[in-house]
Amino acid sequence: MRKATWLLGIVLFSLLLGVALVACTFGTPPRPGVSRVLVACFLALTLIGVSWRCIRALGFAEVGVLALSAAVVPCLLIVLAAPDLLGALDRGRQRATLASMRELAGALEAVRAERGAYPSWGPGRAAEVLPRDFDAPRRDGWGAEFELEVGPGGVRIISYGLGSTPDAGLAGDYPPGKTTAFTDDIVLIDGSFWRYPEGTHLP
């Protein structure tokens, strides 16, 4: 009776896990991160079940199964959820980059409105263009300095994104619109984003 109850519980739990997996994978919107966690749970349960049979067949105590579970389950969860965790970190850095670019552009415009000119002119990295005492963000969310072009025609601020490498083949001539990768450059011209991450809600 006890074995039958355990078996029924495992079957029902597996069915619920399967339904949740299908819903997260094919639902609107899909949730790949949750799907990976569910897959990890399913694999962990399968591995624990097989290990239980093997360990009992070899005559070892049930504590071995518990020890194995404690080691395997977190590893599976970490491996399968790692891409989403890294993606969430980079999305946070991307949002921080957008905020810093806005703040830097606002600070430059404030100086121009007060003094009639920008604090300095020229193309180059923030450390090369901005005065040392200029109080504004100089780096993006990944820790790289912004690329600036400050002149009579206005201000252009560029973040090279994840990897801090300029987009190949553009040579500074950026088409307007949305980007899809964390490595894509982000461009702000005269206070408005010219090139920005897809899914970003801009004012």
> For residue 28, what pLDDT band results from cuts at 50, 70 and 90?
very low
pLDDT at 30: 46
Tens-digit pLDDT profile for residues 91-129: 889 999 999 999 999 999 998 888 888 888 788 888 888
- Whether pLDDT at 43 is above 60: yes
Measured CA to CA, the distance from residue 178 to residue 36 in angstroms comes to 28
Q: Could you tell me the pTM of the whole model?
A: 0.61
Fold of 91-197: Glycoprotein, Type 4 Pilin (3.30.700)
Which of 168, 163, 171, 173 has the alpha carbon at shortest distance from 195? 173
Cβ atoms 200, 98 nearer than 8 A: yes
Mean pLDDT of 151-174: 82
| Domains in the chain: boundaries | 2-88, 91-197
